[in-house]
Amino acid sequence: MKVFAPFRALAALTLLALASASFAAPAAEAPIDFNREIRPILSDNCFSCHGFDAKKRKADLRLDTPEGAYAVKDGVAAIQPGDPKASALLQRALSKDPDEVMPPPDSHKKLTPAQIETLRRWIAQGAPYRKHWSFEPPVKAAVPAFPNLSPIDAFLRAELSRHGLHPASEARKESLLRRVTLDLTGLPPTPAEVDAFVADTSPEAYGRVVDRLLESVRFGEHMARYWLDAARYADTHGLHLDNERSMWPYRDWVVRAFNQNLPFDQFTLWQLAGDLLPNPTQDQRIASGFNRCNVTTSEGGSISNELLFRYAVDRTETTFGVWMGLTAGCAVCHDHKFDPITTKDFYSVYSFFYSAADPAMDGNTALTPPVLQLSTPEQEAQLKSMDQAIAAQKKLLSEGLSKLVYNDPATLTPPPPVEKGEAVWFEDAFPENAKVEYSGAPTTWITAEQGPVHSGQRALRRKAEGLAQDFFTHGAALEVPANGQISVWCHLDPSDLPKAVMLQFHVGNWNHRAVWGDEKSIPLGSTGKPDKVVLGPLPAAGKWVELKFPADRVGLKPGMKVDGFAFTQYDGTVVWDSLVMRHQFDPAKDPGWSWAAWIKKKQGSLVKELPGALQTLLRNKKAEQWTEAETKKLKDWWLENEYAGAGESVLLPKAEKIRLEAQRAALADSIPKTLVMADLPQPRQAYVMQRGQYDKPGEEVSRRTPEVFPPLPAKENYNRVDLAQWLLSPENPLTSRVIVNRFWQQFFGTGLVKSVNDFGAQGDSPSHPELLDWLAVTFREQGWDIKQLVRSMVTSAAYRQSAAVTPEPLAKDPENRLLARGPRFRLDAEVIRDSALFISGLLSPKVGGVGVRPYQPDNIWEPVGFSGSNTARYTRGTKEALYRRSLYTFWKRTAPPPAMTTFDAPSRESSCLRRERSNTPLQALVLLNDIQHVEAARHFAQRILREGGRSDAERITFAWRCAVGRTPAAPEAATVLEALEKHRSRFQTTPADASQLITFGESKPAADIPAPELAAWTLTANLLLNLDEALNP
Amino acid sequence: MDPLLEHQLLLNRRQFFGNAGLRVGGVALAGLLARDASAKAGGNVHPGLPEFPHLPQKAKRLIYLHMNGAPSQLDLWDYKPQLKQHFDKDLPDSIRNGQRITTMTAGQARFPVAPSLFQFAQHGQCGRWVSELLPYTSQVVDELAVLKSVSTTAINHDPACTFVMTGSEIPGKPSIGSWISYGLGSLNDDLPSFVVLTPRSAGGQALFTRMWSSGFLPSKHTGVALRSAGDPVLFIQNPPGVTNSDRRVMLDALAKLNAAQHQDLADPEILTRTAQYEMAFRMQSSVPELVDLSHESKATLDLYGKDATDPGTFAHSALLARRLIERGVRAVQILHRGWDQHNNLPKDIARQCEQTDQACAALILDLKMRGLLEDTLVVWGGEFGRTVYSQGTLSQTNYGRDHHPRCFTMWMAGAGVKPGISYGETDDFSYNVTQDPVHLSELNATILHLMGVDHKRFTFKFQGLDQRLTGVEERRVIHEILA
Tell me, yes or no, if B203 comes closer than 8 A to chain A by beta carbon.
yes
Tell me, yes or no, if B258 comes closer than 8 A to chain A by beta carbon.
yes
**For testing the chain B interface, which of A56, A310, A805, A908 should be mutated: the one with the most B CBs within 10 Å?**
A805
Say yes or no for a CB contact (<8 Å) between B277 and A924.
Answer: yes
Are B114 and B389 spatial neighbours (Cβ–Cβ below 8 Å)?
A: yes
CA nearest B134: which of B414, B421, B357? B357
Tell me, yes or no, if B239 comes closer than 8 A to chain A by beta carbon.
yes
How high is the pLDDT of residue A9? Answer: 38
Look up the pTM and report it. Answer: 0.75
- pLDDT tens digits for A673-721? 999 999 999 999 999 998 788 888 999 999 999 999 999 999 989 999 9
Residue A815 has pLDDT above 60, yes or no: yes
Are B80 and B74 spatial neighbours (Cβ–Cβ below 8 Å)?
A: yes
* Residue A875 φ/ψ, nearest 5 degrees: -110, 110
How high is the pLDDT of residue B8? Answer: 36
- pLDDT tens digits for A779-791? 999 999 999 999 9
Say yes or no for a CB contact (<8 Å) between B267 and A239.
Answer: no
Residue B12 has pLDDT above 60, yes or no: no
Please report which helix (H) or strand (E) contains residue A18, including its range. Answer: helix A12-22
Are A89 and A71 spatial neighbours (Cβ–Cβ below 8 Å)?
A: no
Mean pLDDT of A997-1009: 95
How high is the pLDDT of residue B41? Answer: 33
**Interface list for A 415-454 with B (CB within 8 A):** none
Start-to-end CA span in chain B (Å):
43
Residue A600 has pLDDT above 50, yes or no: yes
Q: Which of A44-48, A101-105, B215-219, B422-426 has the lowest mean pLDDT?
A: B215-219
Say yes or no for a CB contact (<8 Å) between B276 and A924.
Answer: yes
Residue B43 has pLDDT above 70, yes or no: no
Helix, coil or strand: residue A650: helix
- Give strand pairing partners of B336: B67
Mean pLDDT of A482-510: 92
Mean pLDDT of B72-87: 96
- pLDDT tens digits for B322-345? 999 999 999 999 999 889 998 889
Helix, coil or strand: residue A263: coil
- Side-chain-facing half-sphere of A603: CA atoms under 13 Å: 14
Can you tell me the distance from the alpha carbon of A182 to that of A185, in angstroms, rounded to the nearest whole number?
5
Can you tell me the distance from the alpha carbon of A132 to that of A142, in angstroms, rounded to the nearest whole number?
22
Tell me, yes or no, if A978 comes closer than 8 A to chain B by beta carbon.
yes
Please report which helix (H) or strand (E) contains residue B334, including its range. Answer: strand B331-336
Mean pLDDT of B438-451: 97
Can you tell me the distance from the alpha carbon of B181 to that of A372, in angstroms, rounded to the nearest whole number?
46
Residue A403 has pLDDT above 70, yes or no: yes
A744: which residues sit within 8 A by CB, 6+ positions away? A751, A752, A775, A793
What residues in A contact B463, CB-CB < 8 Å? 327, 329-330, 757-758
DSSP state letters, A238-302 = BSTT--B---HHHHHHHHHHHHTT--HHHHHHHHHHGGGSSS--HHHHHHGGGGG-S-BB--TT-
Q: Which of A121-135, A196-210, B7-21 has the lowest mean pLDDT?
A: B7-21
Counted residue by residue, chain A has a size of 1033
Say yes or no for a CB contact (<8 Å) between A239 and B257.
Answer: no
Say yes or no for a CB contact (<8 Å) between B239 and A1023.
Answer: no
DSSP state letters, B32-82 = HHHHHHHHHHSS-SSB--TT-SSS--S-SEEEEEEETT---HHHHT---GG
Can you tell me the distance from the alpha carbon of A170 to that of B262, in angstroms, rounded to the nearest whole number?
19
Tell me, yes or no, if B98 comes closer than 8 A to chain A by beta carbon.
no
Please report which helix (H) or strand (E) contains residue A546, including its range. Answer: strand A544-550
In this prediction, what percent of chain A has a pLDDT beyond 70?
97
Tell me, yes or no, if A970 comes closer than 8 A to chain B by beta carbon.
no
**How many CB atoms neighbour CB B456 within 10 A?**
18
How high is the pLDDT of residue B22? Answer: 29
Q: Which of A655-669, B109-123, B410-424 has the lowest mean pLDDT?
A: A655-669
Can you tell me the distance from the alpha carbon of B67 to that of B69, in angstroms, rounded to the nearest whole number?
7
Can you tell me the distance from the alpha carbon of A54 to that of A335, in angstroms, rounded to the nearest whole number?
7
Mean pLDDT of A121-138: 89
Can you tell me the distance from the alpha carbon of A483 to that of A556, in angstroms, rounded to the nearest whole number?
10
Q: Which amino acid is at B133?
A: L
Residue B36 has pLDDT above 60, yes or no: no
Can you tell me the distance from the alpha carbon of B177 to that of B198, in angstroms, rounded to the nearest whole number?
15
Tell me, yes or no, if B202 comes closer than 8 A to chain A by beta carbon.
no
Say yes or no for a CB contact (<8 Å) between B209 and A894.
Answer: yes
Residue B37 has pLDDT above 50, yes or no: no
- pLDDT tens digits for A790-799? 999 999 999 9
Residue B3 has pLDDT above 80, yes or no: no
Identify the residue with better confidence: A929 or A692.
A929
Mean pLDDT of A217-222: 98
- Under the banding of pLDDT at 50, 70 and 90, the label for residue A770 is very high
CA nearest A924: which of B250, B447, B479? B250
Say yes or no for a CB contact (<8 Å) between A997 and B403.
Answer: no
- Under the banding of pLDDT at 50, 70 and 90, the label for residue A8 is very low
A60: which residues sit within 8 A by CB, 6+ positions away? A73
A170: which residues sit within 8 A by CB, 6+ positions away? A176, A797, A800, A801, A802
**Residue-averaged pLDDT of chain A:** 90
How high is the pLDDT of residue B15? Answer: 33
- pLDDT tens digits for B456-467? 999 988 766 788
How high is the pLDDT of residue A826? Answer: 92
A961: which residues sit within 8 A by CB, 6+ positions away? A191, A194, A967
- Under the banding of pLDDT at 50, 70 and 90, the label for residue B203 is low
- Give strand pairing partners of A581: A423, A486
> Among partner residues A242, A992, A1029, which is closest to B261 by beta-carbon distance?
A1029
- Side-chain-facing half-sphere of B67: CA atoms under 13 Å: 26
How high is the pLDDT of residue A860? Answer: 85
Distance from CA of A18 to the nearest CA of B (A): 29
Can you tell me the distance from the alpha carbon of A670 to that of A273, in angstroms, rounded to the nearest whole number?
27
- Under the banding of pLDDT at 50, 70 and 90, the label for residue A279 is very high
Q: What's the angle, vertex CA B240, arms to CA B235 and CA B242, rounded to 5? A: 90
Can you tell me the distance from the alpha carbon of A188 to that of A207, in angstroms, rounded to the nearest whole number?
18
Mean pLDDT of A749-758: 92
**Interface list for B 147-176 with A (CB within 8 A):** 155-158, 170-172
Distance from CA of B152 to the nearest CA of A (A): 15
**C-alpha dist (Å) from residue A1005 to A107, A320, A411, A998, B288:** 64, 51, 77, 6, 30
Are B424 and B148 spatial neighbours (Cβ–Cβ below 8 Å)?
A: yes
Helix, coil or strand: residue B326: helix
Are A370 and A358 spatial neighbours (Cβ–Cβ below 8 Å)?
A: yes
- pLDDT tens digits for A932-950? 999 999 999 999 999 999 9
Are A234 and A293 spatial neighbours (Cβ–Cβ below 8 Å)?
A: yes
Mean pLDDT of A486-506: 94
Mean pLDDT of B313-318: 95
Dihedral (C-alpha) A969, A971, A974, A975: value to the nearest 10 degrees?
A: -110
Tell me, yes or no, if B210 comes closer than 8 A to chain A by beta carbon.
yes
Q: Which amino acid is at A202?
A: S
Instruction: Give the nearest chain A residue to B271 (CA atoms).
Output: A1028
CA nearest A926: which of A795, A832, A816, A827? A832
Residue B6 has pLDDT above 60, yes or no: no
Say yes or no for a CB contact (<8 Å) between A1015 and B241.
Answer: yes
What residues in B contact A760, CB-CB < 8 Å? 464
Can you tell me the distance from the alpha carbon of B417 to that of B406, in angstroms, rounded to the nearest whole number?
24
Mean pLDDT of A298-304: 86
Q: What radius of gyration, in Å, describes the C-alpha atoms of chain B?
A: 24
- Under the banding of pLDDT at 50, 70 and 90, the label for residue B2 is very low
Mean pLDDT of A172-177: 96
Say yes or no for a CB contact (<8 Å) between B241 and A303.
Answer: no
Cis before residue A103, ω within 30 degrees of 0? yes
**Residue-averaged pLDDT of chain B:** 86
